[in-house]
Amino acid sequence: MRQLPFHYAFRNLGRSRVRLLASLLGSALVVLLVLAAAGFVRGMQQTLTRPAALHENVIILGTGSEESIERSQINASIEGIVAASIVGIKRRSGVAYASPEIHTLLPVKTEAASDTDRQAVMRGVRDVALLVHPHVEIVDGRFPRAGHDELMVGGLAAIRLGLPEERLAIGQTLCFDDRNWTIVGRFAAPGTVMDAEVWLPLTDLQIATKRPGTISCVVVSLEPADRGGRFVSIDAFTKARLDLEVTAIREQEYYASIAAFLAQIRWMIMITAVLIALGGLLGGLNTMYAAFAARVREVGMLQALGYTRRAIVINLSEESVFAAACGALIGCAVGLLLLDGLAVKFSMGAFALRMDAPVVFAGLVGGLTVGLVGAIPPAVRCLRLPIAEALKSH
């Protein structure tokens, strides 16, 4: 079968500026949308389930609070019991990798007089937390000292709090529990929930939240060898010591269960994106119908010359896909410029949109699909008339 020349398809794009613009914009928007949705999903997934970030730690927390560490409340002495009685906990230079922690959401103000409360994800920790969470790296300043109203903030904490980056610079203060706390350190934990947190000494947070003697959990690191077996031994320990009312759960599983919960949000985002994209597609279809309908007689003439319907549908699709491809490239460029690394906050913290190769690929495929799907029905409709009737149309 002989094809119509591509330059015919290409020049046909110039027949209506409005339509060309609509095609470009439509496909660019669809691509942006796909990029945003896919980048969101990907950023979220990576933050919550990235295996490398969640090396085999085990969280020991109150029985019944496995869904949410924030609700867990266990006796602070459990840390000592755990460190002393469980075999397989990692030890270096006599230090047991067992980090007692409080995880809580606290309303924070920028200054005492302010009316706006901002929910901060707070973690009360001791120095050992840096050993147990090796992905946390202090990039500026130092670890906060206990009893001095000091704290340190993660790389995405500003986004989580809805504050400009410089507002969380070292030396700035945040107000909670009727006191000003000075930021003395900044840390990075890229790709993990911790990146959006505010860390402060465990005892300070115990006082601020009026829960002396209790903690949320103990996070322990296991010796690398035979981690599965080690976990079984911790699990057995918590089940034997029912008096402690604690449960052991792998850190990875804990965040995976949150990810599963967030999967519902993910579906909502995907469905919304698809619906908006469909809207764009329908709009695009409409302009295509109009553009192709104006060419019914010309298409009849091409058939009279001997071109097959298939050759004509292919040429009309080329026209539309080419426009869509240009729009898709524009959409990708804008997406990479504006969306990559854009941080989004959610209840558990914040994470950054990821524009990696698969996401960009999905975006491009989305744009091209719009071009193709948007062209074929109008093209087929344009060819619906018998040639003799098409030649009579105006």
Q: Which residues bind other proteins (CB under 8 A)?
A: 2-5, 7-8, 11-12, 14-15, 297-298, 301-309, 386-388, 391
Nearer to other proteins, 337 or 388 (CB): 388
- Least CB distance from residue 26 to other proteins, whole Å? 22
Of 15 and 145, CB closest to other proteins: 15
At its nearest, how many Å lie between other proteins and the CB of residue 310?
Answer: 9
Our CB check for other proteins shows the closer of 273 and 302 to be 302
Cβ at position 370, least distance to other proteins in Å: 24
Of 56 and 318, which has the nearer Cβ to other proteins? 318
Minimum gap (Å) between residue 311 Cβ and other proteins? 9
**Least distance in angstroms from the C-beta of 312 to other proteins:** 11
Report the greatest alpha carbon distance in the chain. Answer: 94
Q: How far is CA 128 from CA 13, 89, 144, 194, 203, in A?
A: 65, 13, 13, 15, 14
- Smaller CB separation from other proteins, 7 or 92: 7
Whole-number Cα distances in Å, 352 to 8, 160, 165, 349, 363:
44, 11, 15, 11, 18
d(CA 375, CA 92): 66
CB of 344 to other proteins, least distance (A): 46
Question: Based on CB atoms, which residue is closest to other proteins, 284 or 300?
Answer: 300
Q: How far apart are CA 340 and CA 160, in angstroms?
A: 17
Do 367 and 327 form a contact (C-beta atoms < 8 A)?
A: yes
27 or 315: CB nearest other proteins: 315
Q: How far is the CB of 296 from other proteins (least distance, A)?
A: 12
Look at residues 321, 319, 324, 331 and name the one whose alpha carbon lies nearest to residue 363: 331
Residue number with CB closer to other proteins (71 or 297): 297
The CB-of-190 to other proteins minimum distance in angstroms stands at 52
CB atoms within 10 A of CB 277: 21
Task: Name the residue nearer to other proteins (CB basis): 67 or 389.
Answer: 389
Residue in this structure with the two tokens 């298409």, named with its chain if needed: 299
The stretches of the chain forming alpha helices (DSSP H) are 6-12, 17-49, 78-85, 128-132, 157-161, 202-208, 227-240, 251-293, 296-305, 309-338, 357-382, 387-390
Nearest to 384 by CA among 284, 268, 303: 303
Using CA atoms, how far residue 220 sits from 83, 130, 251, in Å, is 8, 12, 9
Beta strands 95-96 and 349-352 are: unpaired
Q: Residue written as tokens 């695009």?
A: 284
Closest to 103 measured CA to CA, from 133, 81, 134: 133
Least Cβ distance, residue 388 to other proteins (angstroms): 5
Exposed / middle / buried, residue 248 (Cβ in 10 Å: 0-12, 13-18, 19+): buried
